[in-house]
Amino acid sequence: MSSDDDRFVVPLYSSAEAARHLDVPPSTFRSWAHGYRKQPKDRPAVVGEPIVTTLPVDAGVSIPFVGLAEGYVLAAIRRAGVPLQRIRPALDRLRDELGIEHVLASRKLYTDGAEVLYDYAEHAGDTPEARSARELVVVRNDQRVFNEIVDSYLTRIDFYDDQWARVIHLPKYGPTDVVVDQQRGFGAPIFANGGVRLETVLAAFKRGSGIDELTNEYGVPEADLLNVLRVHTQAA
């Protein structure tokens, strides 16, 4: 990874924006980006270290593209029902075994990560951490692979030849292919079909533009426009 690679060194998102793009609660993403400390009554404090890459805040934003990619994988783990505090030791093992600092944003997670997690689960014994790691991996055709939920997320990441994430296809929009791409739209979600930023289309719709007008102006299929409008209406 080059020290001047924009994916690592250019802040693009606030924690709230990243949470919205990934469809996770803002408080959840903040804990991934900044860590957390919980103080149960009459018990020792529970501390979680940050796990998502952040940068010094610049005009309200601190998350680079690689941080969003890391959060995307954590969202998959969360959706699989595995608590992050239970999987943190396994993620540390992934980083150490694969020798990659930003392993959650690397193709090696997809190609080699399941095997590492399976090995961790086998050697960690019958602990909550081992059971959680085991929930993320299944054995299929004698291969250790990620379970269906995590695998469905990982297959929606496109990688550069350098093995780092370059495009994320956001699952929250279902059949409509909405992507975030460091090289297009300043990392904001765009329609893969048409290339226009979602916020541009949504703003025009709120100003009164009709579906036919938006389709003609931006080249986005009507079905994609209607689907994105439905998602944002439900989230409002």
Domain definitions of the chain by residue range: 1-165, 170-236
CA distances from 125 to 84, 95, 120, 121 (A): 19, 20, 9, 7
Task: Report pLDDT digits (tens) over 83-127.
Answer: 988 999 999 999 999 999 999 999 999 999 999 999 999 999 899
In this prediction, residue 236 has a pLDDT band, given cuts at 50, 70 and 90, of: low
What number is the average pLDDT over the span 226-234? 91
7 pLDDT more than 60? yes
1 pLDDT more than 80? no
Task: Report pLDDT digits (tens) over 159-177.
Answer: 999 999 999 999 999 999 9
State residue 191's pLDDT score.
96
Q: Report how far residue 216's alpha carbon sits from residue 154's, in angstroms, rounded to the nearest whole number.
A: 33
Lowest mean pLDDT among 36-40, 79-83, 116-120: 36-40
52 pLDDT more than 90? yes
State residue 208's pLDDT score.
94
The yes/no answer on whether domain 170-236 falls in CATH 1.10.10.10 is yes
Task: Report pLDDT digits (tens) over 191-218.
Answer: 998 899 999 999 999 999 999 999 999 9
Lowest mean pLDDT among 37-41, 70-74, 156-160: 37-41
Q: Report how far residue 75's alpha carbon sits from residue 223's, in angstroms, rounded to the nearest whole number.
A: 27
Q: What is the pTM of this model?
A: 0.92
